[in-house]
Amino acid sequence: MHVAALNPAARAVVLGAGPAGAAVARELARLGYAVQVVSDWRRFDAVEGLSARVIEGLRHAGLHRAASSVAGPCTRTTLWNGVLQTLNAEFLADRRVFDAALRDDLRQAGVDVIEANVRNIQTSPAGHDLVIETADGPLSLRADFLVEARGRFAPLLRDATRGPQTLSLLNVWQGERGAAASAIESLQDGWAWMARLPDGRCYWQMTLDVASAELPQRDELLAFCARMRHAPLASDFFAHDADTDVRLHARSSTATLCGRTGAHNWLRVGDAAMAVDPLSGNGIFQSLSSALQAPAVIHTLLSCPERASLALRFHQQRIEQLFVRFARTGRDFYALEQRWSARSFWESRRLWPDDAPLQVNADFNQLNIERAPVIDGNLIAEADVVVSPDQPLGVWHLEGVPLAPIVEALRKQPAEQVLRALDADQARLVRHWLDAHGYSQTHA
């Protein structure tokens, strides 16, 4: 069903047509806004591993062509801390095919996609004036609202928080045709992820520390990578692929969090708001996570400006919480590698961002009820939420059942009495949530 925008005259320009930018643009168009997406093509050949939940997230965002463009599920092998395993399968996205599918999804949704580079942006409280460079020459655009979704290529803000400085060296070459597969292995001063597509294209990417790595000069980097590819798993993975005509691409992969992710007429989403360490394997997942909430934030800023501070707080808090959660996930995975724990690369990453546990033991007594911003339909509103150590931003409802009144009532009455007003399915869902959060009859 088409939902008309409360401010249909507002024009939004989204910079970037990756998963985050595409998800935001498509939803804003559904809300009735005039949307233009400005994006240049990726300048290097790349492949990315996706989990099944990323595929599900793409479909949830209406990006069905992108979800269908990936190969897999494929076998994924790991060699970590000396242990060789074949873990859950992952899907492989040829980023050029994937990016083209994202653009097709946008055009199908009626979004104007412009292939161009951004040359200049002039921002004022009244809006944004852009100059972009297309194949036919420069073009001027005017936007009431600007969405920054150019990923790690977006200009960084001064208040950004950064993790250990990290560099990724990507090698690409043509091998033999065969089954798609991927693998990851830990090395003395970093780790490597590798993949092969069915057409024989081979990818090997090493991630290492900028400060501690003994990197050669740029013209010697290919030889350096060739030596690193002699590692046990890579040697086996590419045993039948002659690595001739190898192309090299170097890029920063430092985890980064923007201290300010929006204002009344602009918002940063995806990797432009926070970019995680690639080890977490959730780059597109976290991009979608931040992007799926953004249209409600933007719609609130444009149609209910009196809620601007609430909407911006909602977006900033969730970006920060996502960043911390993914950072701790990476930290714990780094800590699993014990053979080189004293090496600078591993030591700095198993201690960052903090020593707080990723999971906290459930305790019903630690649940609190607070007022907080929530998504209510297509807008950001305020409601009573239940806050816990593992869900610091709070939970408003479960399948439409508000939790705060239930938690409050359970402090005075038995569960059977409190849940009596719910139907059987709702009561079962709430009971399961309570059990997971340490509730027992002794709390009543």
Q: Please spell the DSSP secondary structure of 62-116, one letter per residue.
A: T-HHHHHTSEEEEEEEEEETTEEEEEEEEEEEEHHHHHHHHHHHHHHTT-EEEE-
Helix axes 19-30, 95-108, angle to 10 degrees: 10
Residue that the structure tokens 């798609």 belong to: 180
Q: To the nearest whole number, what is the mean pLDDT of the chain? A: 91
How far is CA 425 from its chain centroid? 32
Q: What is the distance between the alpha carbons of residues 104 and 114, in angstroms, rounded to a whole number?
A: 12
Please write the tens of the pLDDT for every residue from 401-433. 999 999 999 988 888 899 988 999 999 999 999
Residue range 63-67: average pLDDT? 97
d(CA 271, CA 20) in angstroms, rounded, equals 8
Query: Is the distance from CB of 209 to CB of 191 less than 8 angstroms?
Result: no
Q: Say whether pLDDT at 265 is over 70.
A: yes
Angle at which helix 283-303 crosses helix 19-30, to 10 degrees, equals 30
pLDDT over 50 at 227, yes or no = yes
Instruction: Return the number of other C-beta atoms located less than 10 Å from residue 95's C-beta.
Output: 15
Instruction: Give per-residue pLDDT as tens, 312-368.
Output: 999 999 999 999 999 999 999 999 999 999 999 999 999 999 999 988 888 898 899
pTM for the model: 0.92
pLDDT score, position 1: 37
pLDDT attached to residue 190: 95
pLDDT > 90 in the chain, percent: 75
What is the model's pLDDT at position 155?
86
Q: What's residue 213's pLDDT?
A: 67
233: pLDDT strictly greater than 60: yes
Does residue 193 contact residue 278 with C-beta atoms inside 8 Å? yes
Identify whether the C-beta of residue 97 lies closer than 8 Å to the C-beta of residue 110.
Answer: no
For position 300, what pLDDT does the model report?
98
**pLDDT for 157-182, tens place per residue?**
778 899 999 999 999 999 999 999 99
15 in Cβ contact with 149 (< 8 Å): yes
Sequence ranges of the domains in the chain? 11-73+87-157+256-338, 364-443
Q: What residues contact residue 301 under an 8 Å CB cut-off, 6+ apart?
A: 145, 262, 264, 265, 267, 308, 311, 312
Q: Which residue has the higher pLDDT, 283 or 108?
A: 108
Does pLDDT of 42 surpass 90?
Answer: no
Mean local confidence (pLDDT), 66-74: 94
> What 3-state DSSP class applies to 408?
helix
pLDDT at 7 over 90: no
Q: What is the pLDDT of residue 441?
A: 55
* Domain formed by 11-73+87-157+256-338, architecture: 3-Layer(bba) Sandwich (3.50)
Residue appearing with tokens 């459930």:
362
Chain segment 107-137, per-residue pLDDT in tens: 999 999 999 999 999 999 999 999 999 999 9
For 48, counting Cβ atoms within 10 Å of its Cβ (0-12 exposed, 13-18 middle, 19+ buried), the class is buried
